[in-house]
Amino acid sequence: MGEFELIARYFNRNVPDDTLIGIGDDCALFTIPDGMQLAQSMDTLVEGIHFPENIDPQLLGYRSLAVSISDLAAMGAKPHSFTLGLTLPDSNEQWLRGFSDGLFSLADSLSIPLIGGDTTRGPLTITIQVQGTVPQDTALRRNGAKAGDQIYVSGYLGDAAGALPYVLSREEQKAENNAHIQALLQRYYKPTPRLALGRWLRENGATAALDISDGLLGDLNHILSASHKGAELNLQTIPCSPNLTALYTTTQAKDLALQGGDDYELCFTWPKENNLILPSFLSDSIFVTMIGSITEQKGIRDTQQHSLDACAYTHF
């Protein structure tokens, strides 16, 4: 099967009206509405580094798109479209069918069309670029946190990191009858981009935000560095799920929540003087937890003024 047949069979779908040209020409063309800005983000996932060998291709397809869309959520953007760069060791039709099914199960549920990309031969690598739109000069950024702002996170933290030992040891099947492990694996393989929350935060006064991909402490430090501020965290309030605490000690669970990555929840700052109450359309499906506050003093400390190491995953 050649490159163009591969694309036509597994990746060529209909595109919306504002996409003038999608797959099949040298470039995609689309129209941006007046008063809007284009938000773009790109992620590259490499087998053996970002995902294990022999991962279920359907889960990989879903996860690959979800982690990229999460960046749009962090800026309060509405997803518009995405492109896909796929490097394959061979054109295995069963693998391609599973990957495209997983990819489009998420894309179709969010009405995000694939409008272009590229394929080539080599070690399995997936590059996805997402495009979104956001009203002019309103995007949530990392540099807006102010001293006194409250620090919040969405959802539970540490679940994906808690799943990793089971992912890497290929013990998912052994854990089929353990509901706690299955719940953590679901959080690793199928993260939920917090799109509705991100847009609501942008519209209602959040001062800074990002998604938690490399661990809470390391990612929070990106906000602090961009805003030239520090933070004080109440470690007792870090939200850990019952599934995580059923499998790990309290100390281990907190460490996973603080240092583990791949949660793709949102960390954001909120003015202290504004009471944060989520509307029902959000609170029915997601919760947020205040975990600390922004300080003028640089660095990250707990309530006992002990310094916390703001390390995050790095590629080099």
Q: What is the pLDDT of residues 188-243, one digit of tens each?
A: 999 999 999 999 999 999 999 999 999 999 999 999 999 999 999 999 999 999 99
**CA pair distance 271, 274, nearest whole angstrom:** 6
Lowest mean pLDDT among 171-180, 216-225, 287-296: 171-180
Residue boundaries of the structural domains of the chain: 3-135, 150-302
Q: Report pLDDT for 91.
A: 85
- State whether CATH 3.30.1330.10 applies to domain 3-135: yes
Residue 316 has pLDDT above 50, yes or no: no
Q: What is the pLDDT of residue 17?
A: 61
CATH T-level fold of 150-302: Phosphoribosyl-aminoimidazole Synthetase; Chain A, domain 2 (3.90.650)
Residue type, 27: C
pLDDT at 54: 86
Residue whose C-alpha is closest to residue 160's, from 277, 276, 262, 60: 262
Tokens of 286: 């997601």
Q: Identify the band that residue 16 occupies on the pLDDT scale cut at 50, 70 and 90.
A: low
Rounded Cα gap, residues 194 and 266, in angstroms: 7
Residue 143 per-residue DSSP state: S
DSSP 260-309: ------EEEEE-TTS-----HHHHTT--EEEEEEEESS-EEEETT--B--
pTM of the model: 0.92
Q: Phi/psi of residue 46, each to 5°?
A: -115, 135
